[in-house]
């Protein structure tokens, strides 16, 4: 009841003319950013973070959350009309959305995507309001030992789930991020590491310039390397029929919302896996499996519900553990710190109202996303006619200005360019970007927690292994590694096969 009162109070405080204007324009901007191929939610939030330094904390975070929510939803537009996911989170959307559009049901498909996105956002928002206070209270039991293993666990899980075909590539990307985080002065005695006499490197690698490069400039290079795209030109049908169709699959929507929220909770996994896991579960439970991938309303609804539910889900570990659940959430974490907010286990003690303010922000952004998505279905299609040759130079300028504006250092522009080329090469080699960025975020936590733990235990490494929470984390991390070994998986497969054969006899 106290939580509901706090939530209603937060919503009431935000229902002002200026706040509502911010909600509308930021959500609309997010939708446009998400729907344009080559722009991602991470890039949009990162660029806006550089432009909100002078704003108050609440207004800046409201704008960033609205952009984040809008961008994840906006990517469904290009997925449906171009068969090109606007963001990686909308890859599953294209499987059924594009066939529906080509069948003359583009309006219905976009309405289904909107309905699923709104429902998923609401499910995730409720989970955020319920789970965040409980997880923050539980996180008070975390010490240096637990945070060390949490960082290791986050990198391993992120690498595993974002690179299912070859988890080793995901882990390599994650540990590259951990190494990059060690560049600069270490956190206890301020001794320079890997700086080689450079004053700029002694200050460390900034998270935002690195993210703008890895997700912005690298995306520009990737898009310009591909063939030009062309939108579906069939006339869009009524959006209302799509809303009616969505209601038939309310069980699928609820299941997808819960799965998406769970995927958002896992560090570094986020919206991409929220969509794919929800889509896979819907296909497994559906009575019409053969329609999936050929224009299934149920498949489209599951994918869009799952990825949007992962957005508030990804904010739960940000607020309670200071660990991002996705790449855009990592930018939000950096923005909160910049604006003087300290996410982590103490947030319910130091800033309890802020948690429910974030819940209210997600609620308003979700409502705005639904209204704008339905009202502007046809006008927003016009945005897709902007050619990439005109769009990409503008985005490159914004990337450069954004990287420089963070600290007014030319060095940050070079960091952005380096990570852009580096990220482009990694993408061409099929390495995922999310573990790399998560490694940079968690590197500082891992480094300080390791050293503090060693100081507290007087150099005894066994202290990291025997505490209950630490033990659960390192055993789970070890199981993740063991389960990816081909020989182990083969043996398990044989064992399961024998057991099922024995049960049948």
pLDDT along the chain (505 residues), means of 10: 66 79 93 80 84 85 94 87 77 84 81 91 91 85 87 82 77 89 81 85 83 79 70 56 79 91 81 85 84 86 92 90 84 87 85 87 93 81 69 80 77 90 89 83 85 86 87 86 74 61 52
Evaluate whether residue 270 is within a structural domain. yes
How many domains, in total, are found in the chain?
1
In a domain, 369, yes or no: yes
Nearest to 279 by CA among 288, 261, 292, 290: 292
Whether 478 maps to a domain, the answer reads no
Determine, yes or no, domain membership for 311. Answer: yes
What whole-number distance in Å separates Cα of residue 498 and Cα of residue 501?
Answer: 5
What's the pLDDT at 418? 92
User: Tokens representing 253?
Assistant: 């929507």
pLDDT number for residue 233: 52
CB 27 within 8 A of CB 72: no
Coil vs helix vs strand at 184: strand
Say if 499 falls within a structural domain: no
Question: What pLDDT shows up at residue 398?
Answer: 77
User: Residue 439: inside a domain, yes or no?
Assistant: yes
Which residues, including other chains, have CB under 8 Å from residue 348's CB and lie 6 or more apart? 133, 136, 137, 320, 355
Transcribe 111-168 into DSSP letters.
HHHHHHHHHHHHHHHHHHHHHHHHHHHHHTT--HHHHHHHHHHHHHHHHHHH-SS-HH
Instruction: Tell me the C-alpha distance between 194 and 425, whole Å.
Output: 23
Number of residues written out for the chain: 505
What's the pLDDT at 236? 53
Whole-angstrom Cα distance, residue 138 to residue 413? 40
Classify residue 222: in a domain, yes or no: yes
**Residue 24: what pLDDT?**
93
Q: State the Cα–Cα distance between residues 505 and 501, nearest whole angstrom.
A: 6
Report if residue 124 sits inside a domain: yes
Domain residues for 257? 2-466
């Amino acid at each position: 009841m106290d939580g509901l009162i706090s939530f209603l109070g937060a919503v009431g405080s935000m229902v002002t003319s200026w706040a509502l204007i911010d909600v509308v324009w930021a959500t609309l901007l997010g939708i446009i950013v998400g729907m344009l191929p080559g722009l991602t939610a991470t890039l949009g939030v990162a660029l806006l973070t550089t432009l909100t330094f002078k704003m108050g904390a609440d207004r800046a975070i409201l704008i960033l959350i609205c952009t984040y929510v809008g961008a994840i939803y906006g990517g469904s537009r290009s997925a449906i009309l171009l068969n090109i996911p606007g963001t990686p989170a909308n890859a599953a959307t294209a499987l059924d959305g594009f066939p529906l559009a080509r069948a003359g049901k583009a309006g219905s498909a976009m309405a289904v995507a909107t309905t699923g996105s709104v429902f998923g956002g609401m499910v995730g928002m409720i989970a955020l309001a319920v789970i965040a206070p409980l997880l923050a209270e539980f996180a008070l039991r975390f010490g240096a030992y637990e945070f060390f293993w949490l960082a290791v666990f986050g990198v391993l899980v992120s690498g595993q789930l974002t690179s299912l075909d070859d988890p080793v590539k995901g882990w390599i990307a994650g540990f590259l991020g951990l190494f990059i985080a060690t560049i600069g002065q270490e956190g206890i005695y301020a001794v320079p590491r890997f700086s080689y006499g450079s004053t700029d490197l002694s200050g460390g690698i900034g998270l935002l310039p690195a993210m703008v490069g890895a997700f912005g400039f690298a995306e520009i290079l990737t898009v310009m390397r591909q063939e030009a795209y062309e939108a579906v030109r069939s006339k869009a049908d009524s959006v209302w029929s799509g809303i009616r169709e969505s209601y038939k699959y309310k069980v699928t929507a609820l299941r997808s919302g819960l799965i998406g929220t769970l995927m958002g909770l896992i560090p570094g996994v986020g919206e991409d896996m929220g969509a794919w896991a929800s889509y896979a579960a819907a296909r497994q439970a559906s009575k019409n499996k053969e329609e999936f991938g050929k224009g299934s309303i149920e498949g489209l609804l599951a994918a869009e519900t799952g990825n949007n539910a992962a957005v508030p889900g990804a904010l739960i570990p940000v607020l309670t553990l200071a660990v991002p659940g996705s790449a855009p959430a990592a930018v939000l974490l950096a923005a909160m710190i910049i604006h003087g907010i300290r996410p982590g286990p103490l947030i319910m003690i130091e800033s309890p109202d802020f948690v429910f303010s974030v819940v209210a922000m997600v609620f308003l952004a979700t409502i705005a996303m639904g209204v704008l998505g339905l009202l502007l279905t046809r006008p927003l299609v016009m945005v897709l006619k902007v050619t990439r040759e005109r769009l990409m130079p503008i985005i490159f300028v914004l990337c450069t200005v954004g990287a420089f504006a963070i600290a007014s250092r030319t060095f940050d522009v070079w960091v952005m360019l380096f990570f852009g080329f580096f990220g482009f090469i990694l993408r061409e080699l099929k390495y995922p970007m999310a573990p790399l960025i998560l490694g940079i975020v968690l590197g500082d936590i891992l480094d300080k927690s390791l050293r503090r733990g060693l100081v507290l235990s007087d150099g005894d490494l066994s202290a990291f292994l025997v505490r209950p929470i630490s033990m659960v984390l390192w055993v789970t991390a070890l199981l993740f590694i063991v389960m990816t070994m081909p020989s182990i998986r083969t043996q398990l497969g044989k064992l399961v096969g024998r057991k099922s054969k024995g049960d049948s006899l």
